[in-house]
């Protein structure tokens, strides 16, 4: 819209623009909006990751406080299931590490590398399956000697996720052979579900 005087032709006298060109202003605002949206989503993602990390630490601290046997470092599988309260009646927890070694609570019961003191180092190195069977025999004997375990007839197995499935099943069979009719498997809660 130009300014003109009367009914004369505006092209004769030159025109002054009375409108503001807002296209560059809109372009700048859109660029700023995009930058704001990108940075806010990145910050939100970082905040969510930090919250998940803190939740995981809290859960791990709670588990360690509730279950003293959890102080033995193993890499347990994570599942989305209802958690068993092991402190309810001071339930026994048998922990199996990858070595393998077996603990009840924090007490070492059997370490498989220490088995068969009369066996030579060559025999130990050559036949790990035989060594594991001897270890399980000693574990079964220790389970049979445990008065609380025999009285309750219940134990929970914590096993490292790196342990072969067959070995875990063999341990469960030995637990049952020792007269323990009720046993469960312990896992860590899966926070990602």
* 84 pLDDT higher than 80: no
* 82 pLDDT higher than 80: no
Q: Cα torsion for 111, 178, 150, 88, to the nearest 10°?
A: 70
pLDDT band at 62 (very low <50, low <70, confident <90, very high): low
pLDDT at position 28 is 93
Strands 188-189 and 78-79, sheet pairing = parallel
Q: How many CA atoms lie within 13 A of 8 on its CB side?
A: 10
In 3D, which of 176, 123, 183, 179 has the Cα closest to residue 158?
Answer: 183
Condensed to tens digits (0 to 9), the pLDDT of residues 115-147 reads 445 545 544 556 777 888 888 889 889 888 888
Most confident range, picked from 19-23, 31-35, 81-85: 31-35
Backbone phi, psi, residue 190, to 5°:
-90, 110
Condensed to tens digits (0 to 9), the pLDDT of residues 28-51 reads 999 999 999 888 888 888 888 898
DSSP 4-35: --TTS-TTTT-----S---HHHHHHHHHHHHH
Condensed to tens digits (0 to 9), the pLDDT of residues 90-117 reads 778 888 888 788 888 888 888 887 544 5
């Amino acid at each position: 819209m130009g300014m003109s005087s009367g009914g004369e032709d505006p092209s004769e006298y030159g025109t002054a623009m009375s409108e503001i060109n807002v296209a560059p202003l809109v372009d700048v605002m859109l660029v700023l909006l995009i930058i704001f949206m990108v940075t806010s989503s990145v910050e939100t993602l970082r905040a969510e990751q930090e919250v998940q990390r803190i939740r995981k630490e809290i859960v791990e601290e709670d588990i360690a406080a509730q279950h003293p046997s959890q102080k033995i470092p193993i890499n347990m599988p994570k599942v989305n299931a209802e958690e068993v309260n092991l402190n309810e009646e001071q339930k026994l927890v048998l922990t199996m590490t990858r070595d393998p070694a077996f603990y009840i609570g924090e007490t070492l019961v059997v370490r498989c590398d220490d088995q068969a003191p009369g066996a030579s180092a060559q025999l130990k190195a050559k036949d790990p399956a035989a060594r594991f069977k001897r270890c399980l025999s000693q574990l079964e004997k220790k389970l049979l000697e445990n008065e609380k375990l025999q009285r309750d007839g219940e134990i929970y197995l914590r096993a490292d996720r790196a342990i072969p499935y067959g070995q875990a099943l063999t341990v469960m069979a030995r637990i049952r052979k020792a007269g323990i009719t009720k046993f469960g498997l312990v896992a860590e809660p899966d926070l990602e579900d």
